[in-house]
Amino acid sequence: VIAVARAVVALAALLGMAWASRISWALPEAGTSVLRVSARFRAEIEQTCRAATAPELEAQAAHMRQTTICENPRVAPYTLSIAVDGSEIRSGPVRGSGRAGEGTLYIDEEFRVPSGSRRVSIRIERVEAAGLAEPRPADTTATDVRRPVRRAVPPLVAMDTTLEVSSGDIVLVIYDPERETLAVRGGS
Amino acid sequence: MIVLQRADALLVRLYGSRYNPLYHSGAVTAALMVLLLVSGLYLLLFYRVGAPWESVARITEQRFSGLWIRTIHRYAADAAVVTALVHAWRMFAQRRSWGARTLPWLSGIALLWVTVISGWTGYVLVWDTFGQRLATEGARVLDLLPLFSEPLGRSFAGEQPVPGAFFFLNLFLHIALPIGMGVLLMVHVSRVARAKLFPSRGLMIAGGALLLALSVAWPVEMWDKADPFRIPGRIPLDIFYGFWLVPAAGVHAGWIAFAFLAVTVLLMLVPRLTRPAPEAVPPPSVVNERSCTGCTQCSLDCPYEAISMTPREDGREGIVARVDTSACVSCGICAGSCAPMVVGPPGRTGKEQLDAARRFAAARISTGDAVVVACARGAGHAPGGSLAGAPVFTVNCAGTLHTSVVETLLRSGAGGVLIVSCPPEDCWGREGVTWLDQRIFHGREAELKERVDRRRITVAKLARLQADEALVELEALRRRIAQMDMPERDLSDVDLECDVATAAAGGQ
């Protein structure tokens, strides 16, 4: 009896462990469809610039003289808006990476969408800084913005298309930096 | 606690204390880690970071040289979590988690987390639907931290194939973390003497054979390959490593991180939370240095390396025992080890045990019946002070029992002495029962004097809820002493080394 009890207890413990090791879990999102927007792009850099004054120019050695002095570089703000079948499901700023939010901009968003034919609109748009323009060297007191200092995403990247989304599909929208457009992967 | 005691009693009845896995949960975990290391190194030979799922599938196709070894690796990983949790639960339930045991507790929690994290990296290496889920959910949490230049979650979005560097990093962690665990394990056992890193050979062989049998009978399967463009209806879930995925589904990553942090902080606070009130903290052992003979036995027997021998500072030649109060857990094992009775926690030294035994004998022993000496945590502990009519003399831990107490009880008229201790594998003072057994029957220093008839003594090593077995042992002792002549009751003072040492030291 003891030998049988020993075997039963050991077997029960092992089988219980093996069973718990291979439970089948029905995902809560099973049967739905997902629109995933994943993008990486460089934002424009904005700087506050002004024309150098004559005393400032004279204070510099001849080979160091810059007619425009630019300060306070910052990443231009962008917004992302996503609409499915005309209903906006996401609208807000895109934050840059890093503590100060000044690094590369990333989008990594997922939305559950009903299966079927869906009209999807996505806009990534730079927010224009109000009242700023190209610097005017002749104006020694003006405070303006100069852009860009590096190759960046266009001021507006948009997509407005109809996607066929099947149950269990994940449709991925990415930013294609070569074509400077949004592109679709996966789905129908 | 009662659940633990019942499980202990059941498994001791079935397998004996030597093979009760609950008693050896920590050592079994360490043995499983070795098994994981060996099987993992073998699997590493066939793993390819450039084709993770495909290479694991090829391993799985080979029944003898791949599938079974991978299955053993997997089940050993699961068993390691189970045994580590049992070990932690045991230490918590027995209140062995505070004071000098704080470092082992904290390092144990770190070991548990490292084990789980190492398991996560192992599952991600397979890159099936479960590994993908672990990776994406883990990335959601890690992306809360301002550590990465690019959100980790994007790596699995499907924009690009998951880079081989990601699997290389996982593989590196999967190997490096267990190596780091070796260092943590050394810290974990640094406060105990003669740490038992592995269970008995029999238990290891039996456990290994059972794992192998399970692997052959119920091998793991290849699950579906991770696909960034499909939502699987169901995914396999290893509850020991994916326990958090179910409650985390659809929950903001901040809450998941908070839950992990809260559990970790709570576990780290256990030493603080389980520490008794200051007035209830048992005091550490003290040494009467004037009477210490410098025999070194207490230092040798201390299970926590809390006693060292140092040169005397009182002008006399020789060495003397000193207690490191920060390492002493007040187990009292030194009290039983010290023949002259000059070391031990206040109130539990050999001399104080002897005084209590003399009072007990005067009040309770009269008829030549057996006397029970019971560990307060063991099966012989009887709240009414009597076990089947036999008077019970309770000690804090049987491992602390001074042999002079046994002799005193017998010379005071007891027909026999039944010492009911915990099993040696579950002694409150770790090695106390082993030392007690050797002092009584094998002449270990502070030994029971040769003049004492060993036939009148039984040491029953029983789990807490084995009271029935204690009664059986008591009846067996009674039958034995009934067949023996009752010696003259001798109330003259026992020739005790403590008295000799005390006299030599000037009557302290």
Q: Which among A14, A30, A106 is the nearest to B233, CB-wise?
A: A30
Query: Does the pLDDT value for residue A71 go beyond 80?
Result: no
Q: What percent of chain B has pLDDT over 70?
A: 96
CA distance B178 to chain A (A): 21
Q: What is the structure's pLDDT at A100?
A: 73
How do residues B229-238 score in pLDDT, each as one tens digit?
999 999 999 9
Q: What is the structure's pLDDT at A143?
A: 55
How many CB atoms are closer than 10 A to CB A162? 10
Q: What is the structure's pLDDT at A72?
A: 75
**b/e for B177-202, b at 16 or more Cβ within 10 A?**
bbeebeebbeebbebbbebeeebeee
The arithmetic mean of pLDDT across residues A115-131, rounded, is 84
More confident residue, B488 or A82: A82
List CB contacts of B89: < 8 A, sequence separation 6 or more: B4
CA distance A39 to chain B (A): 8
Q: Do B249 and A104 touch (CB under 8 A)?
A: no
Q: What is the structure's pLDDT at A17?
A: 96
pLDDT, averaged across chain A: 84
Q: Do A168 and B232 touch (CB under 8 A)?
A: yes
Query: Does the pLDDT value for residue A109 go beyond 70?
Result: yes
Distance (Å, rounded) from C-alpha B87 to C-alpha B358?
40
Q: What is the structure's pLDDT at A147?
A: 52
The CA-based angle B434-B332-B111, given to 5 degrees, is 75
Alpha helices in B293-451 (DSSP H): 297-301, 333-337, 350-364, 403-411, 432-441
Q: What does the DSSP 8-state code read for residue B198? A: S
Q: Do A2 and B14 touch (CB under 8 A)?
A: yes
List CB contacts of B168: < 8 A, sequence separation 6 or more: B49
**b/e for B112-144, b at 16 or more Cβ within 10 A?**
bbebbebbbbbbbbbbbbbbbbbbbbbbbbebe
The arithmetic mean of pLDDT across residues B255-259, rounded, is 97
Report the first-to-last Cα separation within chain A, whole angstroms.
Answer: 63
How do residues B445-454 score in pLDDT, each as one tens digit?
999 999 999 9
Query: Does the pLDDT value for residue A47 go beyond 70?
Result: yes
How many CB atoms are closer than 10 A to CB B338? 32
List the single residue in B with minimal CA-CA distance to A21: B238
Q: What is the structure's pLDDT at A172?
A: 95
Distance (Å, rounded) from C-alpha B111 to C-alpha B182?
9
B146 confidence band (pLDDT: 50, 70, 90): confident
- The SS3 assignment for B421 reads strand
Q: What is the structure's pLDDT at A139?
A: 47
Check if A24 contacts B (Cβ < 8 Å): yes
A16 confidence band (pLDDT: 50, 70, 90): very high
Task: Copy the structure tokens of residue B38.
Answer: 């060996």
List CB contacts of B266: < 8 A, sequence separation 6 or more: none
Mutate to test the interface with B, among A4, A19, A21 (most CBs of B within 10 A): A21
Q: Which of A126-135, A153-162, B52-61 has the lowest mean pLDDT?
A: A126-135
Query: Does the pLDDT value for residue A10 go beyond 90?
Result: yes
Helix H or strand E segment including B57:
helix B52-61
Please report, for residues B78, B108, B116, B117, the alpha-carbon distance to residue B84 in angstroms, rounded to integers and kept in the order given.
Answer: 10, 8, 10, 14
Query: Does the pLDDT value for residue A48 go beyond 80?
Result: no
Chain A residues whose beta carbon lies within 8 Å of the beta carbon of residue B210: 10, 14
pLDDT, averaged across chain B: 92
Distance (Å, rounded) from C-alpha B508 to C-alpha B506?
6
Q: What is the structure's pLDDT at B491?
A: 61
* Cα–Cα nearest to B26, from B113, B70, B84, B99: B84
Report the first-to-last Cα separation within chain B, whole angstroms.
Answer: 42
Q: What is the structure's pLDDT at B172?
A: 97
Please report, for residues B66, B351, B487, B505, B508, the alpha-carbon distance to residue B502 in angstroms, rounded to integers and kept in the order given.
Answer: 69, 11, 29, 5, 6
Q: What is the structure's pLDDT at A102?
A: 74
List CB contacts of B507: < 8 A, sequence separation 6 or more: none
A45 confidence band (pLDDT: 50, 70, 90): confident
A129 confidence band (pLDDT: 50, 70, 90): low
Q: What is the structure's pLDDT at A155?
A: 86
Query: Does the pLDDT value for residue B306 go beyond 70?
Result: yes
* Cα–Cα nearest to B113, from B257, B255, B263: B263
Helix H or strand E segment including B169:
helix B164-188
Distance (Å, rounded) from C-alpha B234 to C-alpha B484?
73
Please report, for residues B34, B71, B102, the alpha-carbon distance to residue B216 in angstroms, rounded to integers and kept in the order given.
Answer: 20, 8, 41
The CA-based angle B252-B256-B260, given to 5 degrees, is 165
Q: What is the structure's pLDDT at B293?
A: 94
Q: Which among A21, A170, A185 is the nearest to B75, CB-wise?
A: A21
How do residues B379-399 score in pLDDT, each as one tens digit?
888 777 889 999 999 999 999
Q: Which residues pair with B393 in a beta bridge?
A: B373
Q: What does the DSSP 8-state code read for residue B496? A: -
The CA-based angle B248-B144-A183, given to 5 degrees, is 90
Query: Does the pLDDT value for residue A165 go beyond 60?
Result: yes
Q: What is the structure's pLDDT at A188?
A: 59
Q: What is the structure's pLDDT at A131?
A: 47
List CB contacts of B137: < 8 A, sequence separation 6 or more: B244, B245, B248, B256
How do residues B308-320 score in pLDDT, each as one tens digit?
999 999 888 999 9
Burial of B474 per CB tally in 10 Å (0-12, 13-18, 19+) = buried
Chain A residues whose beta carbon lies within 8 Å of the beta carbon of residue B249: 27-29
Q: Which residues pair with B319 in a beta bridge?
A: B311
A49 confidence band (pLDDT: 50, 70, 90): confident
How do residues B74-84 score in pLDDT, each as one tens digit?
999 999 999 99
Chain B residues whose beta carbon lies within 8 Å of the beta carbon of residue A14: 210-211, 214
Query: Does the pLDDT value for residue A138 go beyond 50?
Result: no
Model ipTM value: 0.87
CA distance B156 to chain A (A): 10
The bridge status of strand B390-395 relative to strand B370-375 is: parallel
Mutate to test the interface with B, among A108, A110, A112, A182 (most CBs of B within 10 A): A108
In contact, B432 and B336? CB cutoff 8 Å:
yes
How do residues B466-508 score in pLDDT, each as one tens digit?
999 999 999 999 999 999 887 767 666 555 555 444 444 444 3
- Highest-confidence segment of A74-83, A87-96, B452-461: B452-461
Q: Which among B75, B159, B235 is the nearest to A27, CB-wise?
A: B235
Q: Do B158 and A15 touch (CB under 8 A)?
A: no
In contact, B135 and B201? CB cutoff 8 Å:
no
Query: Does the pLDDT value for residue A145 go beyond 60?
Result: no
Distance (Å, rounded) from C-alpha B129 to C-alpha B231?
9
Distance (Å, rounded) from C-alpha B386 to C-alpha B465?
17
